[in-house]
Amino acid sequence: MTTELHSQWIPIASSSDLPLRHVYQAKLLGREFAVWRADDGYVNIWENRCLHRGVRLSIGINDGRELKCQYHGWRYANRTAGCTYIPAHPADAPARTICNNTYPAQEAHGLVWCGEQAVGEIPALDGFETATTLRPIPINAPRDFVIEALTCYSMADGCAGLVNEDGSVTVTAGDGSAVRLFVQPCDSNHSVIRGVVNRAAQGADHIALLRTHSQALSALRRKIEAQAAQLEALEPMSAPIGRVAEDLVDIPAASTDGRNADLRVQVAAKERTAEGIVSLRLEPLTGSRLPTFQPGAHIDVHLQNGLVRQYSLTNGPGETDHYTIGVKREPDSRGGSTAIHDSVQKGDVLAISVPRNNFPLRRDAVNTIFVAGGIGVTPLLSMARTLNSQNLGFEFHYFVQSDEHVAFKQAIGEFEQAASLHKGLSPDETVAVLRKVLAEPGHARHIYICGPGPMLEAARQVASNCGWSDEAVHFEYFKNTVELDDSNSFEIDLARSAVTLTVPAGQTILEVLRENGINMGSSCEQGACGTCRCGVIEGDVLHQDVYLSDSEKAEGKSIMTCVSRAKSDRLILDI
C-alpha cells in the first residue's frame, strides 16, 4: 500500500552509520534497505535482498565499488545496482539486465534521507545552518503517537514544541536553542527519532550536548513505550516484493554461437599501465600452464554482460603460466572495455578462448619494423619480445599522445635500445616520421603495424609509396569501420560436403553455415581478426573486411565469412 509518507523524504540513517566499506540495514514503512557508501562517496539505498535467492544484501560485502552477496557471490555495481558478475557461470552469464531495486537517496544535516517514491526537496532546516546531529533513538511505538508525544519534549527550561508540515517536531527552548526531531516510521509499531540541534559543538561540549539529548529522549522513550504498550497493536506494514522482469524467468541457454570459451582463468592482477589502459594478468585456476600462444595471438574474452571481446597477448616467449592483456577504455564503448575497467576485479574468473594467431610473425627477416599506435602496441609487444630474445634485429616505433599514455613500460624496457617513442605528433608529423622510418624497403625486411584506423591507413600508404610490397606489410585492425552491405542474396556451394545453401539478404555466410550445423570458428565477427577465413574456389567476392591485404583481396582466394559476400550469384567455398 502506498501512502503519502512514501513520497516524503525521511531520514533513515545517520551519515556516521556509513563508515568505510560498511553495509547498514535500515527500514522504512515496512521495507528493508541495504544502505552503503561506495569509495567515491555515493550513498546507495537498495532493496535489502539479492535478486537471486532473496538473501539480505546487508550481510554482503562492500568492496568500495560493488556489493557482493554472501550466498553466491553475485556482485552489484555502485549507483546502478546492476549485476556485474555471477561466479557460477563465468563463461556466459546473462546477456540480461539483472538490476536490484534502488531508492532515492540524499545526504544532508548528517542524515541519510530516503523515500520509496520521494519527490521534491528534503525539508528546509532554516535556523539550523550550523548544527549537530543527535544519536538516533529507536522506539517501539507508532509514528503518529511518537510525533504527538515529542511536542512535549523538553531539553531545557521553557520548551515549546510544534509539529511542522512534514511531520517533524521543532522544540525551541527559552534560551533560543532548538532541536528538530524527525520520526522515521520503520514499521507500524517501530520508529526511530532522529534529531538535529541548531548549534555546532566540539569536543567535550559535543559529547555533553549529545548526552543531554540522549538522556532526555531516552526518558521520553520509556514513557512513550509504556503508553504505546496499552494501544492496540497495529498490523505490520506490508512492503510487497516486486516481481523481476519477465525476460529473467527463463534461464538463458548456454552460448551456442560457436565462439567457444574453453578456458577459465583467474584475474591475478589488474593494474593501470597507462592513462586509460589497464593490464590484466590472467592465470590458470589449477596448475601453472596455459595453452601455448604465438606472438601476435589474441584471445576472446567472454564478459559477464554477454559481450565477447578480442585482446592481444603481450606475453614474451615461454611465458605460459599466465596471459597478459591490455585494455583501453573506449570512449564510445558498447560495454566491453567499460565492463573490464569498471567491473572485472582481481580474483574474478573469466572465460576465454584458446589463443588464436591471425597476425603471425615471420622470424626470417633481417630487419623488422614495428609501428605501434596507442593500444595497438599489445600484439607488437609480444612480437618484439620474441625477436629480442632471439637476438633478431628490429625497430620498435611507438606512437603515443604523451608519456602518460605509454603502456607496459617495463616490458618495453627489455628492448630499450630498439624502441623509439614518438609523442604527441599530429597526423602530418606522424606521416613525416613514418616516411623516415619506412624509407628503406628491401629483401627480408618486414613491417608490422597495429593501431587506430587512420594511423594504420597512413602507415600502409607511406609503406606503399616507399615501395614496400604487400607481402612485407603486415597489419592488424582493432575494428572494421567499413559500412557493411548485406542486401544481396546468393548461393554458396560447399565443395567438400557437396551442399548448396542460400545466404539471404540480412544474413551472413557464417550465420547460414552455423544454422546448417557447420561449425566455423570465429572471433571478432566484424571482419577484423581473420579467424573465420575460408578458401574460395570459384566466384567473385565482395570483400568487406579489413583483415585481408589488397593483393589477397584482388586474388579472391579467401573470404571472411562473417562480413564478406558474393558479388556473383554463387560462391564455391572450400569447406
Q: For binding to another protein (CB under 8 A), which residues are involved? A: 32, 48-49, 51-56, 59, 70-73, 86-91, 93-94, 98, 241, 243-246, 248-249, 251-252, 254, 264, 266, 285-286, 347-349
Q: Looking at beta carbons only, is 197 or 301 nearer to another protein?
A: 301
Least distance to another protein, CB of residue 345, Å: 11
* DSSP β-ladder status, 277-284 and 298-302: unpaired
Under DSSP, is residue 209 helix (H, G, I), strand (E, B) or coil? helix
Nearer to another protein, 116 or 545 (CB): 116
Coil/strand/helix, residue 412: helix
CB of 498 to another protein, least distance (A): 34
Using the 8-state DSSP alphabet, how is residue 94 labeled? -
Which residue lies nearer to another protein by CB, 252 or 291?
252
Question: Using CB atoms within 10 A of its CB, is residue 61 exposed (0-12), middle (13-18) or buried (19+)?
Answer: middle
Smallest separation, CB 242 to another protein (Å)? 9
Residue that has been written with the C-alpha cell 523524504 in this structure: 9
Minimum distance from residue 93 beta carbon to another protein (Å): 7
For another protein, the closer CB: 99 or 572? 99
Closest separation between CB of residue 133 and another protein, Å?
29
Nearer Cβ to another protein (51/372): 51
CA distances (Å), 251 to each of 82, 140, 245, 285, 536, in order? 18, 44, 13, 26, 40
Contact between 29 and 5 under an 8 Å Cβ cutoff? The reply is: yes
**Cβ within 8 Å of residue 268, ≥6 positions away:** 281, 282, 283, 322, 346
Residue 11 or 284: which CB sits closer to another protein? 284
Q: Choose between 59 and 173: whose C-beta lies nearer to another protein.
A: 59
Minimal distance in Å, beta carbon 481 to another protein? 36
* Cβ contact 19:53 at 8 Å: no
Q: Which is nearer to another protein, 48 or 386 (CB)?
A: 48
Report d(CA 224, CA 77) in Å as an integer: 41
In the complex, what is the shortest distance from the CB of residue 74 to another protein, in angstroms, rounded to a whole number? Answer: 9
Cα separation, 116 vs 47, whole angstroms:
10
Starting from the edge strand earliest in sequence, which strands make up the sheet with 31-37, in order?
Answer: 23-28, 31-37, 43-47
Residue tagged 592513462 (cell numbers) = 275
Q: Is 464 helix (H, G, I), strand (E, B) or coil?
A: helix
Least Å distance between CB 264 and another protein?
7
Please name the amino acid found at residue 299.
Answer: I
Write phi, then psi, for 467 (nearest 5 degrees).
95, 15
